[in-house]
């Protein structure tokens, strides 16, 4: 028997959408109960599948009037619980917004709907000799709307920047259905930089319904150098040597032995499986420039103690090297029933000591770790292997992950580089930011969403929660998510 409030909501939503675009049966809701961070699960009260801006506006207005919280969702590939539904809320799927509206080759821009896959933008731009630079490992599935809300990066973010550096304009709906146009098709616009504010806002400020991105010309040449090391610390030090030499690679990635073995067994990329770590360094640009940089990088890697240095013979081998790196996350999934993917960023010079400390924590918590990360910009992705079926192991894994994030803060870094805060890292926000800073975050949220209906309980903790987090550290407790129980 439905409650009167739920029945009224369903009646209102079915006046906006076709019957098959409003889901409320348990078996229909189940695919939406979590995002890529599957440690946390919750069934939404209802899922809406609109396909026009007008429908999204109408849904938001109904929810605003009835004080029902809304969680916007893209492809569900997020890794911080940012799209975790609320049991008394609407899960707003943008999956049907899949149109590439315009490829403007002359101005090197693309206008797309938020449900367009990251890789699809580059595929559509390829006939014009153009591409979209940010390339998360999940680019075959993740959507541009989700990339904007999490400020995603990828293997080429070292040289070409994160999503925030490659987005020119947004169309965003507020909780009461007002359409905002932020930025546009030019490199700059007057007034406050609301474009940067929206990018990485994790769905707390508005619902993105259109994105204008910057396209780049394909480089004349791109080539990858693979270096193997017998020591993870040596490989980490080599990263700093390359950047210090004034070379900014198109991508500079690192994998340790567990990740190497998993990726090689999965993709057969040609990785040396006996190496303690490998670096993948891609140089791109003009032909002559790439030739000079490859010679210099090979010298630097050999001087840093590399046991093997190989240059991709052709583009096919280059793509195979990258295929192994991009498949590392699913490959590591074959090593353990579950894994917990962390995301922190540190100064490059602190890489060796941080990796050493992660190894010590791994031994302390008796949980293996596979390290895969964007070494060039210090964005770490330690994958903690565990079994959720073993009592207490998830809790131990979460505690271990929290220690890694707090380690990142301690060395001058931050708790996220591209995955966002969501619910996973909300406790560590209390460590990174002072109460006065958190109060300002809440003030920004209130300016856009005074009722707190958009993705409540995510990304920015309450001061009460931070007090609980401090007590949890003292008493070794397990922190719940009271913000998510508000509705």
What confidence tens digit (pLDDT) does each residue in 203-226 have?
A: 999 999 999 999 999 999 999 999
Is the pLDDT at 411 greater than 90, yes or no? yes
What pLDDT is recorded for position 474?
42
The model's confidence at residue 197, banded by pLDDT at 50, 70 and 90, is: very high
| 264-268 LR contacts (CB < 8 Å, sep 24+) | 264/324, 265/331, 265/334, 266/324, 266/327, 266/330, 266/331, 266/334, 267/320, 267/323, 267/324, 267/327, 267/331
Q: How far is CA 265 from the centre of its chain?
A: 25
Q: Report how far residue 307's alpha carbon sits from residue 298's, in angstroms, rounded to the nearest whole number.
A: 12
- Check residue 128 and report its DSSP letter: G
How big is the chain by its Cα radius of gyration, in Å? 23
| Model confidence pLDDT, tens digit, residues 48-102 | 999 999 999 999 999 999 999 999 999 999 999 999 999 999 999 999 999 999 9
For residue 398, what are its two tokens? 């979460």
Strands 90-93 and 70-73: parallel
Query: How far apart are the C-alpha atoms of 459 and 74, rounded to whole Å?
Result: 17
User: Is residue 158 within 8 Å of 251, Cβ to Cβ?
Assistant: yes
Residue matched to tokens 């990360």: 373
Extended beta strands in 161-220, E state: 167-173, 179-183, 207-214, 216-217
Q: How far apart are CA 325 and CA 151, in angstroms?
A: 20
Q: What was the pLDDT predicted at 480?
A: 59
Beta-strand runs (E) in 250-387: 251-256, 277-285, 308-311, 338-341, 344-345, 369-373, 379-380, 382-386
Band of the pLDDT at 116, cuts 50, 70, 90? Answer: very high
Residue 482's pLDDT is 57
Residue 431 and residue 164: Cα distance in Å, rounded?
Answer: 25
Mean pLDDT of 246-256: 96
- The model carries a pTM of 0.93
**How many alpha carbons fall within 13 Å on the CB side of residue 329?**
19
Q: Report the C-alpha gap between 346 and 332 in whole angstroms.
A: 23
Which residue segments constitute the domains of the chain, with CATH numbers given?
Answer: 4-93 (3.30.43.10), 100-217 (3.30.465.10), 219-424 (3.40.462.10), 426-485 (no CATH)
Share of the chain above pLDDT 90, in %: 90
C-alpha to C-alpha distance for 463 and 112, rounded to whole angstroms: 38
Measure the CA angle with vertex 333, ends 332 and 339; round to 5°. Answer: 95
Cα–Cα distance measured from residue 481 to residue 84, given in angstroms and rounded to the nearest whole number: 12
Q: Of 74, 151, 154, which is closest to residue 116 (Cα–Cα)?
A: 74
Alpha carbon 17 to chain centroid, angstroms: 30
User: What distances in angstroms separate CA 396 from CA 5, 193, 365, 400, 477, one per listed residue?
Assistant: 39, 41, 7, 6, 11
> What is the crossing angle of helices 393-410 and 351-365, to 10°?
160
The Cα angle at residue 284 between residues 306 and 232, in degrees rounded to 5: 25
Does an H or E element contain 182, and which? strand 179-183
Grade residue 265 by pLDDT with cuts at 50, 70 and 90. Answer: very high
pLDDT at 476: 47
What is the model's pLDDT at position 472?
A: 60
């Amino acid at each position: 028997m439905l409650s009167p409030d739920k029945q009224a909501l369903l009646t209102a939503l079915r006046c906006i959408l076709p019957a098959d675009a409003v889901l409320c049966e348990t078996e229909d809701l189940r695919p939406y109960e979590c995002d890529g961070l599957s440690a946390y699960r919750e069934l939404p009260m209802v899922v809406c599948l609109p396909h026009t801006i007008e429908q999204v506006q109408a849904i938001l207005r109904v929810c605003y009037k009835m004080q029902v919280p809304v969680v916007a969702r893209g492809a569900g590939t997020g890794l911080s619980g940012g799209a975790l539904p609320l049991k008394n809320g609407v899960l707003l799927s943008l999956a049907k917004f899949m149109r590439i509206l315009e490829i403007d080759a002359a101005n090197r821009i693309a206008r797309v709907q938020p449900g367009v896959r990251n890789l699809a933008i580059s595929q559509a731009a390829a006939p014009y000799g153009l591409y979209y630079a940010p390339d998360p490992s999940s680019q075959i599935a993740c959507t541009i709307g989700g990339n904007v809300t999490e400020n995603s990066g990828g293997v080429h973010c070292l040289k070409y920047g994160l999503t925030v550096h490659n987005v020119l304009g947004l169309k965003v709906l507020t909780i009461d259905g007002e359409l905002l146009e932020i930025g546009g098709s030019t490199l700059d616009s007057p007034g406050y930089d609301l474009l940067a504010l929206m990018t990485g806002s994790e769905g707390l400020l508005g619902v993105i319904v259109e994105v204008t991105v910057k396209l780049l010309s394909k480089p004349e040449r791109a080539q990858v150098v693979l270096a193997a090391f017998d020591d993870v610390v040596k490989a980490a030090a080599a990263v700093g040597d390359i950047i210090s030499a004034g070379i900014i690679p198109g991508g500079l990635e690192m994998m340790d032995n567990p990740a190497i073995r998993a990726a090689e067994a999965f993709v057969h990329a040609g990785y040396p499986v006996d190496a303690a770590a490998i670096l993948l360094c891609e140089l791109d640009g003009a032909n002559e420039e790439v030739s000079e940089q490859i010679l210099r990088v090979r010298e630097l890697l050999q001087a840093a103690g590399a046991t093997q240095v190989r240059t991709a013979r052709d583009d096919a081998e280059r793509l195979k090297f990258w295929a192994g790196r991009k498949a590392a996350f699913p490959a590591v999934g074959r090593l353990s029933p579950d894994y917990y993917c962390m995301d922190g960023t540190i100064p490059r010079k602190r890489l060796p000591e941080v990796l050493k400390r992660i190894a010590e924590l791994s031994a302390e918590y008796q949980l293996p770790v596979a390290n895969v990360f964007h070494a060039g910009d210090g964005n770490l992705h330690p994958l903690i292997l565990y079994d959720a079926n073993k009592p207490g192991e998830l809790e131990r894994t979460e505690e271990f992950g929290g220690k890694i994030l707090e380690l990142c803060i301690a060395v001058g870094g931050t708790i996220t580089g591209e995955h966002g805060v969501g619910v996973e890292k909300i406790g560590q926000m209390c460590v990174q930011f002072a109460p006065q800073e958190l109060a300002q975050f809440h003030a920004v949220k209130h300016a856009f969403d005074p009722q707190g209906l958009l993705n409540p309980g995510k990304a920015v903790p309450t001061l009460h929660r931070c007090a609980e987090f401090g007590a949890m550290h003292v008493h070794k407790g397990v922190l719940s998510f009271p913000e998510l129980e508000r509705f």
